[in-house]
Structure 1
């Protein structure tokens, strides 16, 4: 019955949000107990942790053969992160970028977006593509980590230390981490079941569900984190959360999907959906560069534009079907 499908979807989303939050907190605290620097915790744990829902959902979807959800989730999450998550943050409070890490991640995100586009131009995600992307994820993380440690602390690490409770015990850290590791796949599996059943009932493709409903659900942890950061005036953490997550989504989420099960997809996906994500990424890059060079705040007007772009995309997805 349709009601059970919606209950599965909602239950999966709620558990996913809770699991992602506990996973990130547990992983960050555990890493600090093991002597990992705050800089690396920020780059690896926060970036990877906020993308954990997308990774697990896409991995499970790939195992089940739901390629539309696997690929749509990654690209849809990036669209949601920039247009909705960052849009909401900017409407709440105009933001500035001071961290060297975030300034460095902006062009990397653009390059990664173009790299993935190049690999997908044959309208197929192969296992080789997946290996290339996962390799790229480790290279990018290693490079950012090396440069970050070489240059020392900056605004991003200061905000990270203020945001996370690194004083919790090792036992509690491991408990939170273990809960997240177990709950994430369970929540993702439940959510994928609900989403695919709803898609079949309404005659909507799995790709559309992945790009919209599932992408929104897996981006809720980023939305919550960004709102919390904005309320605490932690601008670099709010923006870095979005940019870092998008890099991991493209390299890690799509990479894992390809390694698990290669698949073909419609050229329309590149023509419309991926292009829209690229458009948002380019817009964010040039707007950020302009405001950084001018030493100005990213304004509320930018946030309104991003939100309108998100609403337009969501409406278009369901009108065209």
Structure 2
């Protein structure tokens, strides 16, 4: 039964995040917000909503392994698993201009996460700093490139299925999506903790694997669709943006709501895997104009090795 609740929680998270994004974008369009501002704020927030609610719920429930592991594990999965699969389907195009801007922010965000993790506590001061960095990033991106193609493409994808719906229906999507996400997060966290306890596995490992992959499903679906439609530049931008939001927004909000200790497993190993994956992503992106299939294979093999290492640790 507990495994069924875990699956139901994941489904509700994905459905809730999708409904929230569709409703929010439609309302923003009615209010005359620009495409880029919608892409940087509502879409970025909406696709990160499952991770946000899950981490906050885990922090409130006293499960720091899931709260922090969810963010670190999601960033690792986004690069090694999702980009790996995407590149195997079709080589990922690299926009060097966007990569220089957003890639630099990703490096800064990752180093900020390292600093906080090494301190050992996710406190409110760190939360304020992370949120301030996120606001600076959004404002800078908006004013630096009002016509960014990435933002327009994301919004166009959403508008095609829900951008012109009635306002009342958009409000229903927003409220319903948020409610589904919150309820799904409660099911996911409680069932994940119960499974970890029953199997004798740490909450941190559950957070780094099952919860992290589950909350990354929106990014996985978006990237696979982008690859099948040969819009792989959207997939790369989606992953970089998601990883930035995960660190600055999710860790920031979680710290403000409920300060928590950082599990020692993450300090000793997983944060370094996240940094290594980020460095590998930027290395592959800068060497040529696309991330080719063999590089996608390397990313996927490294993720398999990472999961295997965690499994051996859990068995040990």
TM-score category (smaller protein): over 0.9
1:127 paired with 2:127, answer: no
Gaps of 5+ in 1: none
Q: Would the aligned equivalents of 2:57 and 2:185 in 1 still touch at CA under 8 Å?
A: yes
Q: Would the aligned equivalents of 1:28 and 1:45 in 2 still touch at CA under 8 Å?
A: yes
- Once the two structures are TM-superposed, the CA of residue 73 in structure 1 deviates from its matched residue by 0.3
Distance 1:40 1:81, change over 3 A: same
- Once the two structures are TM-superposed, the CA of residue 256 in structure 1 deviates from its matched residue by 1.9
1:244 paired with 2:241, answer: yes
1:155 paired with 2:175, answer: no
Question: Of residues 283, 308, 313 in structure 1, which corresponds to 2:306?
Answer: 313
The aligned length equals: 311
Partner Cα distance (1:215, 1:174) in 2: 29
Q: Would the aligned equivalents of 1:12 and 1:187 in 2 still touch at CA under 8 Å?
A: yes
Q: Hey, what does 1:146 align to over in structure 2?
A: 143
Q: Would the aligned equivalents of 1:110 and 1:285 in 2 still touch at CA under 8 Å?
A: no
Q: Would the aligned equivalents of 1:58 and 1:71 in 2 still touch at CA under 8 Å?
A: yes
Aligned to 1:49, the other structure's residue is in SS state helix
1:61 paired with 2:58, answer: yes
Question: Of residues 201, 204, 215 in structure 1, which corresponds to 2:201?
Answer: 204
Partner Cα distance (2:155, 2:44) in 1: 15
Partner Cα distance (1:26, 1:100) in 2: 31
User: TM-score scaled by structure 1?
Assistant: 0.92
Partner Cα distance (1:98, 1:126) in 2: 36
User: Which string of whole-angstrom CA distances, capped at 9 and with x for unpartnered residues, describes residues 65-98 of structure 1?
Assistant: 1111100001000011111111111110002123
User: Which string of whole-angstrom CA distances, capped at 9 and with x for unpartnered residues, describes residues 179-218 of structure 1?
Assistant: 1111110110011111000000001111111001100100
Partner Cα distance (2:97, 2:168) in 1: 34
Partner Cα distance (1:197, 1:267) in 2: 21
Q: Would the aligned equivalents of 1:46 and 1:241 in 2 still touch at CA under 8 Å?
A: no
Question: Of residues 282, 286, 296 in structure 2, which corresponds to 1:285?
Answer: 282
- Once the two structures are TM-superposed, the CA of residue 100 in structure 1 deviates from its matched residue by 3.8
Of 267-276 and 180-189, deviating more is 267-276
Gaps of 5+ in 2: none
Partner Cα distance (1:210, 1:197) in 2: 12
Partner Cα distance (1:20, 1:193) in 2: 19
1:303 paired with 2:296, answer: yes
Question: C-alpha root-mean-square deviation of aligned residues, in Å?
Answer: 1.5
Aligned to 1:187, the other structure's residue is in SS state helix
- Once the two structures are TM-superposed, the CA of residue 146 in structure 1 deviates from its matched residue by 1.8
Of 257-266 and 4-13, deviating more is 257-266
Q: Hey, what does 1:219 align to over in structure 2?
A: 216
